[in-house]
Chains A and B, each alone.
Chain A
Amino acid sequence: MALTEQRPLALTTGDEVTTDHEPLGVFRRPTATVGWRSWLTTVDHKKIGIMYGYTAFFFLLVGGVEALLIRAQLAVPNGTVLGAETYNQVFTMHGVTMVFLVIMPMAAAFANYLLPLQIGARDVAFPRMNAFSFWCFLFGGIFLNTSWVLGGAADGGWFAYAPNTGVVFSPSHGLDFFTLGLLITGIASLASAVNLTVTVLNMRAPGMTLMRMPIFTWMALVVQLLLVFALPVITLALILLMFERLFDAQFFNPQAGADPLLWQNLFWIFGHPEVYILILPSFGIVSEVIPVFSRKPIFGYPFMVFSGIAIGFMGWGVWAHHMFASGIGPISVAAFSLTTMFIAVPTGVKILNWLATMWGGKLTFTTPMLFAVGLVGMFTIGGLSGVTHAVAPSDTQQTDTYYIVAHIHYVLFGGALLGLFSGFYFWWPKIYGHFLGERMGKAHFWLMFIGFNLTFGPMHILGLQGMSRRIYTYDDGLGFNFWNMVSTIGAFTIAVSILVFMVNVVRSRSKAKGQPSVGPDPWDSRSLEWLTPSPVPEYNFAEIPVVTGRDEFWSRKYGEDENGRLVRQHSDEEVCEAPGATGIHLPSPSYWPIVLSFGLPFIGYGLIFSLWWTAFGTLFVIAGIYGWALEPADDDENPHGHDDHDDDHDPSDDGAVAETSAETSAETTEAGEPREAAVTEEAPVG
């Protein structure tokens, strides 16, 4: 059943799409489906997810080099690798890069690729906005890093406390790049968050109720909601700082009577939900991986869901635990100390549930499983040190020492990053049709695991012995030498492990050339994305699945015998889809997202250097907005998607009621996407 084209300001009159009309964008609609141009204009969530992944990995290398510089400088007392000013820039950018340009976009890579697949949709709610989010992130990240060669990078720490970051104490342009760059990447994240929230709330397949969604989808949804509500707060803080630095506004000037804590409060109101934004996707990933390699469903599904929601919710009430030593007064300190202790509970629930999932399961320690179990262990350690911070008196000793650095890295590296690598190894065969090498994968894991613990374990000791954070060097004779050296050796070990990963990627790809795909379901998994062919075809599902329970895909493969034991009832051939479906219309590619986002960094350059650049950037932004608004969501003259349309196909002819609902939910992209599902056979039910 063809549907009408509905787009704000689009050019159709709302008639049936099969009516002849001239699609009048500003330029001819791009049509490339392969080649580099197809990547620039893609609106396919999978391609966008892949681009997020590679870009985030590139920034991981950048942040990693910054880390190695730090560790090289601190390997010995009175190090001479970096001077103090440079050191400040390096550690600041290390933090900014890792938080905003690595972990967040890497999680976005998984969310983008998987969410439509896991809920049984063909794409996200707003495909062009999805593309825009990616390009905006890329250009924002590049903009931020051009500061290195345009007068120096930001040097006030990733948390950029004002008034230290005002022009008086930070005269270089670095912090202007910081504020403007993060505003740009913030726009990217906010757009993506609205997009994915609407996608999950509105585009689930028939029968996919909220409580049947995979845990990864749930965690990603909580993350998007956290982003939606937390990003405006940092946007505000960055704008206040930017106005102060660029336009002489008085917000943080103590001599004008400003409260020095205003920045800290605003930043951490964002900053604390932000750390849950950083970790929840990885929690979601391991909640997918562990059940598969324990051959058991996740233990306590409702508890996993509600603890995730609880973490998201309670995360708003703890922010001032980053400020225990800043003079907020005993009542505030006590209140936030309590709330911080409480928030350990839902996380503890998750740890217990993962362990209970594994308990009694048939465990296989593949590389993804190793990384997932690694997360459970390392995050527990990081969480325990976190609990010691919650106790305000002990935190007063720990704050601003390397003990905190240890905590941060145990939760963010040992937690978030290990989880993300688990995801790479787990979903690689789905994305590319071949595995990442297991032996190299295990080598990667062990090198990384050992290197990581060598790097950050000793920092607990260093911190308790009194080594300050954010110092570019330390004197001999303070007792810091040994563990710093160990830490540096660990850091270089991590670097080697990353090289192993990169080699693994390249070698696995070349070994797979000419080989057939490993098939849709190489791990014997549980969720819907595994019923599609590998690599996933552009249309995702030939037929939108109808969902009757949790772990829908698993239940189509397996049943239980009289003794309650698992019995495989249907083979992959019966349950999974074959590639090559035709007649499925997809949203057409578009230039405008990249055009619009291209203008944004130039607005930034203009505000720093010369307003002519701002004018230049604004032209792109305006052109982008109008081009986008005038462009139909789908170009009917140049239909995009697999082969021919099946214009006359009337789904109600197929009889089965389930079909009809499958069809109607196939029309699930941007408003009024003309969509025709190719119906080949009935949805198989286990």
Chain B
Amino acid sequence: MADTATKGVTLSEAIVAEVGAGGHATNTGYSNEKLGMWVFLGSECLLFGGLISTYLLYQDRAIEGPLPKDLYDIPFTSVSSFVLLMSSLTMVLAVSAQMRGELPRARTWLIATALLGGIFISGQVYEFTAFVQEGMGFTTSLAASAFYTLTGFHGAHVTIGIIMLLSLVSASANGKIPKERAETVEIVGLYWHFVDVVWILIFTIVYLIT
């Protein structure tokens, strides 16, 4: 009673080798957690897309106070962006080390990633404080609210990422993240890179294109 509608479909005969760290069979050959993270990141596109669009709509609307674009310090933000970009490198080196079983090195790179993330966040805090002092608070205008909500949400995502990274380091130091569990580090890495990629969008669309 076999049907014919099976060839040419990627998710076809559902018998695959056992998946990496998880050890259980899945149709894609990849773990549930990794697939789950990618689906989640797909949904995050809609969230950040909306935040960016709201900002784009309102970027020039300020009855009171300065517009965000009047206050940008591009050199400062460029350095910030560079820091976050490099944190993606350290993240990927951490995953790589973890996969080779070099756990102390993996931890070092994870700490480096968290540190770079922390520097980025400090930069954001400094930048926002400066903006507030220059007269652009959260409630000052439409443009201000939209700007702070967008960058604030991004910053919150980075902060959550830092907490996850440090938790990973702590767990690893307690022996709970062996080489076989490299995928866990990889999945945290996916989240981290996504947050970096959103900043790539924000840096260009919000800061550079005026």
Q: How far in angstroms is the closest Cβ of chain A from B196?
A: 19
Whether the Cβ atoms of B27 and A229 lie closer than 8 Å is no
Which residues of B in the span 129-178 have a Cβ within 8 Å of any Cβ on A?
138-142, 144-146, 149, 167-168, 171, 175-178
Which A-chain residue is minimally distant from B40 (CB atoms)? A194
A669 to B26, CA, bound (A): 10
The stretch from A206-214, A285-293, A363-371 touching chain B is: A206-214
Pairwise interchain contact B2-A4, C-beta atoms closer than 8 A: no
By a CB distance below 8 angstroms, the chain B residues around A230 are: 46
| A240/B149 contact (C-beta < 8 A), A206-B15, A672-B21 known | yes
Q: Would you call B36 and A210 a contact (CB within 8 A)? A: no
Asked if A671 meets B32 with Cβ closer than 8 Å, knowing A555-B1, A665-B14, the reply is yes
A142 in contact (CB, < 8 A): no
Q: B149 to A668, Cβ gap below 8 A?
A: no
Report the minimum CB–CB distance from A603 to chain B (whole Å). 14
Report B175-206 CB contacts with A as 1/0, cut-off 8 Å.
11110110010010000000000000000000
Which B-chain residue is minimally distant from A258 (CB atoms)? Answer: B142
| Shortest Cβ gap from A586 to chain B (Å) | 14
With A209-B14, A212-B3, A555-B1 in contact, is A256–B61 under 8 Å at CB?
yes
B45 to chain A, nearest CB (A): 8
Q: For residue A194, which residues in chain B have a CB less than 8 angstroms away from its CB?
A: 36, 39-40, 43
Given A125-B36, A209-B12, A209-B14, check contact A6 B21 (CB 8 Å). yes
- CB-CB contacts of B30-48 with A at 8 A, as 1s and 0s? 1111011001101110110
A3 to B24, CA, bound (A): 8
Of the listed stretches A247-255, A276-284, A466-474, name the one at the interface; the rest are far from the partner chain: A247-255
Nearest chain B CB to A274 CB, angstrom units: 13
Q: Is the CB of B141 within 8 A of A675?
A: no
> Which residues 232-263 of A sit at the B interface, judged by CB distance below 8 A?
232-233, 235-237, 239-240, 243-244, 247-251, 253, 255-259, 262
The reply to whether the CB of B209 lies closer than 8 angstroms to some CB of chain A is no
Write the nearest CB–CB distance from A516 to chain B, whole angstroms: 31
Is B1 a contact of A209 with CB atoms below 8 Å?
Answer: no
Determine if B85 is an interface residue (Cβ-Cβ < 8 Å). Answer: no
Alpha-carbon distance between A239 and B30 when the two chains are bound, in angstroms: 34
User: Which B residues lie within 8 Å of A199 (CB)?
Assistant: 32
Q: Say whether A202 contacts B149, CB under 8 Å.
A: no
Known: A661-B15, A667-B25. A243 touches B145 (CB 8 A): yes
Total A-B contacts with CB atoms under 8 angstroms apart: 193
Q: Which stretch of B50-58, B76-84, B92-100, B109-117 is in the interface?
A: B50-58
Partner of A201, one of B1, B28, B44: B28
**Is A686 a contact partner of B1 (Cβ separation < 8 A)?**
yes
Give A230 to B141 CA distance when docked, in angstroms: 28
- Could you say which of B6, B32, B58, B167 contacts A202, with CB atoms under 8 Å apart? B32
Is the Cβ of B149 less than 8 Å from the Cβ of A250?
A: no
Do B39 and A207 have beta carbons less than 8 Å apart? no
Q: Does B73 contact A (CB under 8 A)?
A: no
A664 x B25 contact (CB < 8 A): yes
The interface residues of chain A lying within 8 Å CB-to-CB of B63 are 255-257
Closest to B7 in A: A209
A243, B39: Cβ atoms under 8 Å? Answer: no
Q: Is B102 an interface residue, CB under 8 A from the partner?
A: no
In the complex, chain A residues whose CB is within 8 Å of the CB of B138: 247-249
A665 CA to B17 CA in the complex, in Å?
A: 10
* A11 in the interface (beta carbon within 8 A): yes
Say whether, besides A3-B23, A231-B43, A236-B47, A201 and B18 are in contact (CB < 8 Å): no
Evaluate contact between A673 and B57: CB separation under 8 angstroms.
Answer: no
Given A257-B142, A548-B1, also A201-B14 (CB < 8 A) = no
User: Would you give the 0/1 interface string for A577-588, flagging 1 where the beta carbon is closer than 8 Å to chain B?
Assistant: 000000000000
Chain B interface residue number, banded: 35 or more
- CB-nearest residue of chain B to A239: B149
Q: Does A205 contact B (CB under 8 A)?
A: yes
Check if B180 sits within 8 Å of A6, measured CB to CB: yes
Contact check, B180 vs A14: say whether CB atoms are below 8 A apart: yes
Beyond A6-B22, A8-B184, is A211–B6 a contact (Cβ under 8 Å)?
yes
Q: Which residue of A lies closest to B43 (CB)?
A: A228
Residue of B nearest to A202 (CB): B26
Of all chain A residues, the one with the shortest Cβ separation from B187 is A8
| Given the contacts A3-B23, A256-B141, A8 and B13 also touching, CB distance less than 8 Å | no
Q: Would B180 and A4 count as touching, CB distance under 8 A?
A: yes
Quick check: B1 and A671 within 8 Å, CB to CB? no
A200 to chain B, nearest CB (A): 9
Contact present for B50 and A233 (CB under 8 Å) = yes
Q: How far is the CA of A253 from the CA of B46 in the complex (A)?
A: 24
Q: Are A198 and B24 in contact (CB under 8 A)?
A: no
Q: How far is the CA of A523 from the CA of B18 in the complex (A)?
A: 37
Q: Answer whether residue A197 sits at the interface, using C-beta atoms and an 8 A cutoff.
A: yes
Chain B residues with Cβ below 8 Å from A204 are 14, 27
Q: Which residues of chain B come closer than 8 Å to A673, judged between CB atoms?
A: 24
Is A38 an interface residue when CB atoms closer than 8 A count as contact? Answer: no
Task: List, in ascending order, chain A residues with CB within 8 A of B141's CB.
Answer: 250, 256-257
Q: How far is the CA of A266 from the CA of B33 in the complex (A)?
A: 30
Residues of A within 8 A of B26 (CB): 202-203, 668
B2 touches A548 (CB 8 A): yes
Residues of B within 8 A of A635 (CB): none
Answer whether A236 and B25 are a contact pair too, CB < 8 Å, given A243-B145, A550-B3.
Answer: no
Q: Point out the residues of chain A lying under 8 angstroms from B31, CB to CB.
A: 671
Are A251 and B6 in contact, CB atoms less than 8 angstroms apart? no
Q: Is the CB of A668 within 8 A of B24?
A: yes
Q: Note all chain B residues with C-beta closer than 8 A to A275.
A: none
Give the residue name and chain of the B residue nearest to A269 (CB).
B50
A229-B42, A665-B25 known; A251-B15 Cβ under 8 A: no
Give chain B nearest CB distance to A7 CB in angstroms: 8
Q: A203-B32, A629-B167 are in contact. Are A13 and B175 (CB under 8 A)?
A: yes
Q: Do residues B23 and A266 form an inter-chain contact, with CB atoms below 8 A?
A: no
Task: Check A413 for interface membership: any CB of B closer than 8 A.
Answer: no
- Closest CB of chain B to A115's CB: distance in Å? 14
User: Quick one: which of A6, A11, A198 contacts B36, CB cutoff 8 A?
Assistant: A198
Query: Once bound together, how far apart are the Cα atoms of A259 and B56, in whole Å?
Result: 13
Q: Quick check: is A195 within 8 A (CB to CB) of the other chain?
A: yes
Asked whether A236 and B23 contact (CB < 8 A) given A126-B36, A204-B14, A302-B5, the answer is no
Closest chain B CB from A252 CB (angstroms)? 9
Are A4 and B145 in contact, with the CB atoms below 8 A?
Answer: no
What residues of A have a CB within 8 angstroms of the CB of B46 in the complex? 229-230, 232-233
- Please pick, from A229, A233, A550, A667, the residue contacting B23 in the complex, using a CB distance under 8 A: A667
Given A229-B43, A262-B54, A686-B1, answer yes or no on A250-B167 (Cβ-Cβ < 8 Å).
Answer: no
The listed residue (B3, B14, B139) touching A248 by CB distance below 8 A is B139
- Shortest C-beta distance, B24 to chain A (Å), equals 4
What is the bound-complex CA distance between A231 and B46, given in angstroms? 9
A448-489 residues with Cβ-Cβ distance < 8 A to B are none
* B89 contacts the other chain (CB 8 A): no
CA distance A616 to B139 in the complex (A): 28
Q: How far is the CA of A209 from the CA of B57 in the complex (A)?
A: 44
Given A256-B63, A550-B3, A672-B21: A207 and B14 interface contact (C-beta under 8 Å): yes
- Per CB-CB distance, the 5 closest pairs between chain A and chain B, nearest first, are A667-B24, A232-B47, A671-B22, A555-B1, A232-B46
Q: Can you give 9 A-B contacts (C-beta < 8 A)? A: A3-B24, A6-B23, A194-B43, A197-B39, A208-B14, A250-B139, A250-B141, A548-B2, A671-B22
Beyond A257-B62, A664-B25, 13 extra complex contacts between A and B, CB < 8 Å: A6-B180, A9-B184, A14-B181, A198-B36, A203-B27, A208-B14, A233-B47, A236-B50, A251-B142, A257-B141, A549-B1, A667-B25, A668-B24
Contact residues of A with B, CB < 8 Å? Answer: 3-4, 6, 8-11, 13-14, 125-126, 190, 194-195, 197-199, 201-212, 228-233, 235-237, 239-240, 243-244, 247-251, 253, 255-259, 262, 266, 302, 548-550, 555, 629, 661, 664-665, 667-673, 675, 686
